Structure 1
Amino acid sequence: MLTLTNITWLDLCLAGVAVYLVKQGLNKNPAPYPPGPRGLPLIGNIQDMPRIKPWLTFTEWGKKYGPISHVEILGQHIIVLNSVKSAMDMLDKKGTVYSDRPVLPMGGELCGWKHSLGLLPYGDHFRQYRKNIHHIMGNRAALDVYHPVEEIETHRFLKRVFAKPEKLQDHVRHTAGAIILRISHGYEVKEKNDPFIDLADRAMDQFSRATAPGAFMVDIMPLLAKVPEWFPGVGFKRLAREWHQTLEEMVDAPYKFVQDQMDVGIAPKSFTSNLLEGRTLSVEEDHMVKWSAASLYSGGADTTVSAIYSIFLAMTLFPHVQKKAQAEIDAVVGTDRLPSFADRDSLPYIEALVKEVLRWNVVGPTAIPHRVTEDDIHDGYYIPKGSLVIPNIWFMLNDPQTFADPSQFNPERFLDNDGKDPEPEPRTICFGFGRRICPGLHLADASVWISTVMSLAVFDISKVVENGVEITPEVDPTSGTVSHPKPFKCSIKPRSAKAAALIQQDANY
């Protein structure tokens, strides 16, 4: 007797057979697919798709098959790009065709992230979200109004690190959340155990895990979403239910805070209050404002954390870089005050150092896949409608033909040296491509810059010595849509008594 469960698994098998038979009977493509590993009958390349650090496997594909490679899993075509040129030619120059997002059964549908800007389908809602965000941070000049907030919160970060350097990672997360919540919702975080910071941390960790390529079989076999939660092997559904609840809280709680503040006339200016001021919103407009703000808040609360934490890792591992950076700060800014954004144009080595942080620690190694909305022929290869396109950003920023000794942290690669041109600008790569480029890139860049220059002005960062043994941190980034350095130990001490006094000054400018 067939049960509902039997039918579900039977459906899966029949679907695989149907895809294979249709492919075999109707495979009259106008051009060949890009090269890639040979798949198996019925299941295609399901065994080839990596789940841990997929960018490393994609890099090997690039070496073997060239800048554009292809796999197919149960009829789903996946295109991997291993060169900047291919990414620009397809995702940027053909943006009308390559700017959609895939339907992600785990992260998008089951967990609920389909309403966020990152996973929103290409269309009118997507354009409105980006318009809302672009209005306040579309370029560096637009961010000038937020510089005091970033400087104040970064000074508070220095105080926290000075008091408890062993809690560095917590301090980085707290500060990144504090800055973005002030901008997105006008909310000033609590010094300890802030509920909105905790929500953002949990939600973004879950997002990264839920959307990582190949992490969940349901993304490869969407019919698994219909299997009951109690059935063996579908524990992902319990996870999805928990993660969906976290996301709802993260989106709703800060939004309600702004509404409540506006009701009593005490709401500070923010991204959300500006969009709500003097308007009576329809249900659809309310949804768009709430999720635009949540997209800004969630995106800014995690990506900069990875980059800023990497600053401390790099300074621990490459002390000669730290000394050069501090020498420039001392020469330009002096030691009687903290650096500010007003000093940025006068600190070329710090600027190069920030570029190198973004290149060396790739925050989004494979980005979020793009989806093709029409059949395309590119470089003689057939890219069918519905294909997922994954740019291997990690390799693009670690390609030895583009960046000399890419594993080395070397800011000087971005400076003019003895008439030699600087290496390519990493910020045109690390934030994504085309119409899906990160809309908060200028805010992220500013946050990394101010954290770098203020921290190096007052702190010496070095390896920890335990029981007479110097501990060298391991460079081992985590898997996920957003990648973080593996937690590490380092010594953080004030550079001098004068530096300690600067740290402890009042942080209210």
Structure 2
Amino acid sequence: MALLSLLLVFSVLCVATLWKRFTSRPHQRLPPGLKKLPGPKGYPLIGSVPEVPEKNSFIKFAEWGKQYGPIYQVNLAGSNHVWISSDQIARDLLAKKGAIYSDRPHIPALIDDNRTSGQYLPLTSKNNAWSRQRKFANVIMRESEKAQFHRYPEIEAKRMLVELMDQPSQYNHALESFISRVTCRLAWGRSEASDELKQRARELLIGVSPTGALGNKLPFLMSLPDWLVPAKAWERRRAKTERTFFEIMQKDVENDMKEKRAPQSWMRTFLESRGSWGFQYELEGAYAVGMHGIAGALTIAAPMQTFCLAMCHYPQYLPMLQEELDRVCGDRLPRSEDRPNLPFLRAVIRECLRWRPPVPTGIPHYLIQDDTYNGYHIPAGSVMHPLEWAISRDPTVFPDPESFNPLRWLEPSYPTYQEPLTQYPTIINCTQFGYGRRLCQGQGVADEDLLIGIGSIAWLFDMSKHSDEAEDGSSTNPSHDSQYDEGEMNEKENSIHLNKAASISYEELNTGVDITEPSNDDQQSESSYPGAWPVDPLEEQIMDVEKRRRGIEWQYRQSKPKPPVKAKKGVNTIDPTLDYTTLLIAKPVPFRFNLELRDQARAQYVRQIFNEGLSKGEYTDSRGYWGEDNGKSKELGWGKV
């Protein structure tokens, strides 16, 4: 009887949810003289959900943009989604009409309403909490940038390089740990919480991704009791653990300030003027700081991972980058002051964000009232997506858009060229950081981290495609070869500098995707995703580029890219540069490649300066917060991902 009652309640909730979605669909009666936005027809109730693949869905949305135009709408289970494939249209709507386009859509899987809770600034609708925290973010970012981010990226780059030398197969861990540690230092002044910050970011990413938490796929589940819906219980525990973590970090900085040993941090800035920000609830400051920490840990490592991918598939650009670094930096690591003299490095970074944008579907906006555009009616309640994958592939702005080509930012013949080269190219204000009033305020942090992080890697290492992948073009196991003997590692150093926690972008976030063999949905006779392979193979050539007027001299050999490899019998092949995770932040799935030292003297130098910092206490062990096994099966701790 109890089971029957439970099934009845479940059925009623399902019907009620479907009815609500059906009746809340944008009204079909159009205002006089306006047209309905084009788009796929879809199916009753569920709309076009069955037509959208879970993996690389941004490619499908881009294809629809070519079919229906640069702005079109899609019904996804009763919700109207408008996809924008043009930078100009995105600016016309999301920036120029920011007063009505700056809200955020509801994320059902979160326990607290993201629009009003004030917990996550990037996900908060345009309200008082958003205004308060936005002003606070402007202050902390401006002060950090003036202080050159307290040299935290330069400090942590040394630890990252040592990790890469000692365990190159764990490159994803090293890159994400680098970002997490820098962000921890910026947020709270110390790096010990980097493992915990990565886990908080990992769990929140699942909670906010349409293809992540079950509550986002079936919102009615969030109306049921926790004991009946494990996904809801998981989210409640995640939220409580996150809140406790932020509270602990704030108290730690308070204690450091009392003892007059608090390093510079965003939390210290908040606490020094605690009453001047107008925060309305007890832990709003803790969330305002913690959210920026999570946002950095989530996103900035993605372009670094893309850099490794690009250098393996477009090897002609690595010698050019290394020539510039050697000329500017010599025998030392890159520094913040080198930025004006490193235009090619900045071009590589900018191209990484364009070629493989970390948020390819864009962060959605929410329209609060009916609007019109070029004779089309856009109904209130529409979820607006600036489709970054398509925007960054506009062939009129980016000729040969599928190819990775940093020269498009440095050659006057390209539409993207800007002067002076001491400032441009730059990632600041690029479309990947959003539009209008929702522009990301952490751009400066990302810019500094990527300049120091990618610059340091290229300064020390050579990279090349692994022989196994070169034969069949498919993704392989997440490790790579190295000439380093792990037995040579110093056990004490390794226990301190190596972050062994799972990375944000590995198996647990690559839900349902096998790294070695692509899923059946991706099976093709030849590699056919829009991706890295040029349309026509280029003949090998030597090009001398003289840019004396701008202080740049390059010599490089253009290698011959290999065309897609025909599939072997029984083997699935996809473009290996498009084997991506399925969540909102798209990261390259770990792949196998060769990472080799350029110079033994540089390696010794890096170890020396790292050890000097180690002896001064600059590098410490990661800290655990929830007891044995990270609180597994306890009230607070790491959730299963």
Bin the TM-score by the shorter chain.
0.7 to 0.9
User: Are 1:158 and 2:142 matched, yes or no?
Assistant: no
Query: What is the aligned partner in structure 2 of residue 72 from structure 1?
Result: 75
Moved more, 12-21 or 499-508: 12-21
Query: What is the aligned partner in structure 1 of residue 498 from structure 2?
Result: none
Deviations 1:296-333 (A, max 9, x none): 10011121111112222222222211011111222233
What is the CA distance between 1:466 and its match in structure 2?
Answer: 6.7
Q: Is the 8 A contact 2:359 2:388 kept in 1?
A: yes
Q: Is the 8 A contact 1:143 1:443 kept in 2?
A: no
Question: 2:5 and 2:210 mapped to 1: Cα distance?
Answer: 32
Compared with structure 1, are the counterparts of its residues 11 and 136 closer, same or farther at alpha carbon in structure 2 (3 Å cutoff)? Answer: closer
Query: What is the aligned partner in structure 1 of residue 340 from structure 2?
Result: 345
Query: What is the aligned partner in structure 2 of residue 494 from structure 1?
Result: 597
TM-score of the two chains, using structure 1 as the length reference:
0.88
Question: 2:585 and 2:52 mapped to 1: Cα distance?
Answer: 19
User: Are 1:317 and 2:313 matched, yes or no?
Assistant: yes
Question: Partner amino acid for 1:201?
Answer: K
Equivalence map 1:429-440=2 (5 Å): 429-440=431-442
What is the CA distance between 1:269 and its match in structure 2?
Answer: 2.2
For residue 273 of structure 1, the aligned residue among 268, 278, 282 is 268
For residue 118 of structure 1, the aligned residue among 117, 122, 134 is 122
Q: Is the 8 A contact 1:108 1:114 kept in 2?
A: no
Question: 1:467 and 1:51 mapped to 2: Cα distance?
Answer: 25
List runs of 5+ in structure 1 lacking aligned partners.
Answer: 190-195
Q: Is the 8 A contact 1:154 1:450 kept in 2?
A: yes
SS of 1:3's partner is helix
Query: What is the aligned partner in structure 2 of residue 261 from structure 1?
Result: 256
Question: 1:13 and 1:310 mapped to 2: Cα distance?
Answer: 44
Deviations 1:21-77 (A, max 9, x none): 6869x6423133311111333443443454332211211210111111112345422
Query: What is the aligned partner in structure 2 of residue 374 from structure 1?
Result: 369
For residue 90 of structure 1, the aligned residue among 78, 85, 93 is 93
Deviations 1:250-301 (A, max 9, x none): 4333223223323443322211111112546998254221111011100111
Q: Is the 8 A contact 1:477 1:486 kept in 2?
A: yes
Deviations 1:407-452 (A, max 9, x none): 32211011124x4443697652111111112110111011111112
User: Are 1:137 and 2:131 matched, yes or no?
Assistant: no
Question: 1:182 and 1:21 mapped to 2: Cα distance?
Answer: 49
Q: Is the 8 A contact 2:188 2:253 kept in 1?
A: yes
Question: 1:175 and 1:129 mapped to 2: Cα distance?
Answer: 26
What is the CA distance between 1:208 and its match in structure 2?
Answer: 2.4
SS of 2:432's partner is coil
User: Are 1:208 and 2:209 matched, yes or no?
Assistant: no
User: Are 1:478 and 2:478 matched, yes or no?
Assistant: no
Question: 2:468 and 2:377 mapped to 1: Cα distance?
Answer: 57
Identity of aligned pairs, percent? 29
Q: Is the 8 A contact 1:111 1:247 kept in 2?
A: no
User: Are 1:227 and 2:224 matched, yes or no?
Assistant: yes
For residue 455 of structure 1, the aligned residue among 447, 454, 457 is 457
Deviations 1:367-411 (A, max 9, x none): 332111121112222222221111211121133343223332211
Question: 1:124 and 1:347 mapped to 2: Cα distance?
Answer: 41
Compared with structure 1, are the counterparts of its residues 446 and 9 closer, same or farther at alpha carbon in structure 2 (3 Å cutoff)? Answer: same
What is the CA distance between 1:105 and its match in structure 2?
Answer: 0.8
Root-mean-square deviation (CA, aligned residues, Å) is 3.1
SS of 1:79's partner is strand
Question: 2:415 and 2:82 mapped to 1: Cα distance?
Answer: 33
Compared with structure 1, are the counterparts of its residues 378 and 50 closer, same or farther at alpha carbon in structure 2 (3 Å cutoff)? Answer: farther
What is the CA distance between 1:17 and its match in structure 2?
Answer: 4.0
Question: Partner amino acid for 2:606?
Answer: I
For residue 407 of structure 1, the aligned residue among 397, 402, 405 is 402
What is the CA distance between 1:470 and its match in structure 2?
Answer: 9.7
TM-score of the two chains, using structure 2 as the length reference:
0.71
Compared with structure 1, are the counterparts of its residues 472 and 506 closer, same or farther at alpha carbon in structure 2 (3 Å cutoff)? Answer: farther
What is the CA distance between 1:166 and its match in structure 2?
Answer: 2.0
Deviations 1:327-367 (A, max 9, x none): 12222332x32221211111221111111111122111113
Compared with structure 1, are the counterparts of its residues 369 and 107 closer, same or farther at alpha carbon in structure 2 (3 Å cutoff)? Answer: farther
Question: 1:491 and 1:437 mapped to 2: Cα distance?
Answer: 37
Question: 1:304 and 1:382 mapped to 2: Cα distance?
Answer: 37
Question: Partner amino acid for 2:168?
Answer: P
Moved more, 112-121 or 361-370: 112-121
Question: 2:180 and 2:109 mapped to 1: Cα distance?
Answer: 25
Question: 1:109 and 1:279 mapped to 2: Cα distance?
Answer: 25
Give the number of aligned pairs: 497
What is the CA distance between 1:213 and its match in structure 2?
Answer: 3.1
Q: Is the 8 A contact 1:133 1:439 kept in 2?
A: yes
SS of 1:89's partner is helix
Q: Is the 8 A contact 1:110 1:244 kept in 2?
A: no
Question: Partner amino acid for 1:212?
Answer: S
Compared with structure 1, are the counterparts of its residues 126 and 464 closer, same or farther at alpha carbon in structure 2 (3 Å cutoff)? Answer: same
What is the CA distance between 1:130 and its match in structure 2?
Answer: 1.6
Deviations 1:221-271 (A, max 9, x none): 53332134555xx55324424433443344333223223323443322211
SS of 1:430's partner is helix
Q: Which structure dedicates a bigger proportion of its chain to helix?
A: 1
What is the CA distance between 1:178 and its match in structure 2?
Answer: 1.1
Question: 1:467 and 1:40 mapped to 2: Cα distance?
Answer: 41
Compared with structure 1, are the counterparts of its residues 68 and 265 closer, same or farther at alpha carbon in structure 2 (3 Å cutoff)? Answer: same
SS of 1:506's partner is helix
Query: What is the aligned partner in structure 2 of residue 181 from structure 1?
Result: 184
